[in-house]
């Protein structure tokens, strides 16, 4: 336990970690709220699974600084998004636009769920008909032959007749 604490202390003291605060000064509360909202919409270039606002990497801090700079210049939210899309591609958006090939990504899961529900519905409707035993006219048992019949088969027939 002591070794783990010592290692953590040395790591933090060495400055090899990504700072939690961005390098630039925070803006006015309303503008800073816009910066954080935009940061939640953009993907970190390093982490790829986190937003710029949630990522602890120094690259995300730099991206957040750039968002802060663009907002301070008076750019609209769409202009900030367009800046990052032009620089990194549409991949940088955590929620890409639902058009073109992206439409398949948005509608694919819905289509699969509807198709699965349809198949399950058909199977449930078909199940009672398939499970019901076929009702047919009772067949008259053939007359037992005396010499050529297997004794085991004769015993089974006698059991069934009882």
- Taking the CA of residue 106 as centre, how many other CA atoms within 13 Å lie in the half-sphere pointing to its CB? 10
Range with lowest mean pLDDT among 12-16, 43-47, 59-63, 123-127:
12-16
User: Does residue 29 lie in a domain region?
Assistant: yes
21 pLDDT higher than 70: no
Domain span at residue 77 reads 15-92
- Same structural domain for residues 65 and 111? no
Helical packing angle, 29-41 and 77-88, nearest 10°: 40
Angstrom distance (rounded) from CA 31 to CA 33 = 5
User: Does residue 7 lie in a domain region?
Assistant: no
- Same structural domain for residues 79 and 27? yes
Model confidence over 70-116: pLDDT tens digits? 999 989 989 999 999 999 888 888 877 767 777 777 788 899 999 99
Model confidence over 111-159: pLDDT tens digits? 999 999 999 999 888 765 545 555 555 555 555 555 577 889 889 988 9
User: Does residue 151 lie in a domain region?
Assistant: no
- Same structural domain for residues 84 and 109? no
The residue to which tokens 């935009």 are assigned? 38
Domain count, the chain: 2
Is this prediction's pTM over 0.75? no
- Same structural domain for residues 21 and 81? yes
Handedness of CA 20, 25, 31, 35 (dihedral sign): negative
- Same structural domain for residues 63 and 125? no
Closest CA to 54 of 39, 65, 67, 68: 39
């Amino acid at each position: 336990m002591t070794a783990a604490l010592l290692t953590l202390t040395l790591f933090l003291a060495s400055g090899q970690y990504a700072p939690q605060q961005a390098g630039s000064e925070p803006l006015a509360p309303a503008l800073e709220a816009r910066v954080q909202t935009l940061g939640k919409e953009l993907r970190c270039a390093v982490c790829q699974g986190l937003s710029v606002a949630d990522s602890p990497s120094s690259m995300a801090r730099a991206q957040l600084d750039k968002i802060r700079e663009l907002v301070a210049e008076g750019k609209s939210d769409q202009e900030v998004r367009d800046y990052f899309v032009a620089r990194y591609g549409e991949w940088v958006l955590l929620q890409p636009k639902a058009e073109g090939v992206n439409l398949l990504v948005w509608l694919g899961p819905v289509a699969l769920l509807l198709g699965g529900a349809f198949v399950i519905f058909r199977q449930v409707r078909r199940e009672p008909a398939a499970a019901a035993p076929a009702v047919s006219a009772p067949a008259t048992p053939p007359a037992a032959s005396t010499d050529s019949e297997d004794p085991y088969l004769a015993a089974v027939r006698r059991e069934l007749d009882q």
